[in-house]
Amino acid sequence: MQQSHVSSKKVVLRPRKYTVSIAIPSGILDTAPTQELKTVLAGQIGRLLAIYNVDEIIIYDEKARNAFAASEDNTHTGSGPSNLFLARVLQYLETPQYLRKALVPISKDLRFAALLSPLDSPHHPQLDERTKYREGVTVAKPVKEGRGSWVDVGLKNQIQIERVLKPKVRVTVEMGDGAEKKSTTVSPKTPREVLGLYWGYTIRLAGSFSRVLTESPYKDGYDLTVGVSDRKSEPLAEQTNKLKPFSHMLIAFGGPNGGLQNAIDADEDLQCAGEDANELFDMFMIPSATAGSRTIRTEEGIHMVMTSLQPHIETHGQINT
């Protein structure tokens, strides 16, 4: 079956320094009864978040009582099998196809990876596509001492960079012309901050909901937080005044097992009851006030919320660019 493609006008990208993070529960896949369907659902979520330029995906354990219990109950940084399955599928999807063999370990969790639709993001270029930046992986190829490393960036020929790195290290490369300008490694943030290109997402596992907030990779944490729930929440249109200029935005979603309120109730490290979950966020919004269904699945809520927030994200985030 052929995939349909919707053409869109070419937009002018602006350098972007602000980031958008999404927190989703590990139980988001619980509604899918088989591994095959869980894989497809995880892929749909990954593509959806890439379409909306999400920079960080946080998968949290909504059933953890506290940080100590999460660490004791699981051996993977407080994350159980559901967290790891979702993380593996999302990581596979985010990794450019030409890097997967080197960077993505073989796993039973990826048995149905062939069903995943590609992200088709700027950091997944075609073989002969000319781009200023490319993702690459260092390879074990002999090089003169102090002359750097060889990198596979998905072209017919490997390129040489100035840094000496071990094999199988993922790098972001600013492409040179092979003559006066040499190829150099840059931060993965550079394509976004310099050209405004969406350059994929990072994945973080959080052993409880409180860790979503306390283990932020940003020095000053998240300066604009939005909680999404259908309980004790208001439509976006009634509280746009709560949106403010931001550098790092967090949007948190609950899951099919009681939503954000249950995740907060289960977390003993939070001095807040689930019924008062709105107090943890700058804004607490309902996915849709006019939905024709009594229930909204989390992945459907993500689409609704991101669609309504996108203009505000671009307006308030650009102020900090």
66 pLDDT exceeds 90? no
Instruction: Note whether 170 and 275 are same-domain residues.
Output: no
Domain boundary among 145, 161, 184: 184
Which CATH number covers residue 180? 2.40.50.140
State the pLDDT at residue 55: 99
- 298 and 216 share one domain: yes
- Whole-angstrom distance, CA of residue 280 vs CA of residue 23: 14
Radius of gyration of the chain (CA): 21
- Asked if 102 and 154 sit in the same domain, the reply is no
Do 273 and 138 lie in a common domain?
A: no
Would you say residue 9 lies in a domain? no
Going 199 to 83 to 298 to 118, the CA torsion angle's sign is positive
pLDDT, residue 291, reads 75
Q: Residues 209, 230: one domain?
A: yes
| Count of structural domains within the chain | 2
What average pLDDT does the chain have? 87
Domain that holds residue 177: 133-184
In a shared domain, residues 77 and 100: yes
Domain harbouring 311, CATH code: 3.40.1280.10
Same domain, 53 and 167: no
Distance CA 312, CA 303 (A): 15
Looking at the structure, do residues 71 and 98 belong to the same domain, yes or no? yes
Assess whether 116 and 29 both reside in one domain: yes
Q: Is 128 part of a structural domain of the chain?
A: no
- Average pLDDT, integer, range 236-253: 92
Q: What does residue 23 show for φ and ψ, rounded to 5 degrees?
A: -105, 125
Residue 173 lies in a domain: yes
Q: What is the mean pLDDT of residues 87-114?
A: 96
- Please write the tens of the pLDDT for every residue from 271-319: 887 778 888 999 999 887 777 776 788 889 999 999 999 999 999 997 6
- Alpha-carbon distance of 115 to 313, in angstroms, equals 32
Please tell me whether residues 211 and 115 are part of one structural domain: yes
* Adjacency order of strands within the sheet including 56-60: 202-206, 56-60, 19-25, 248-253, 224-228, 283-285
Residue 2 has a pLDDT of 47
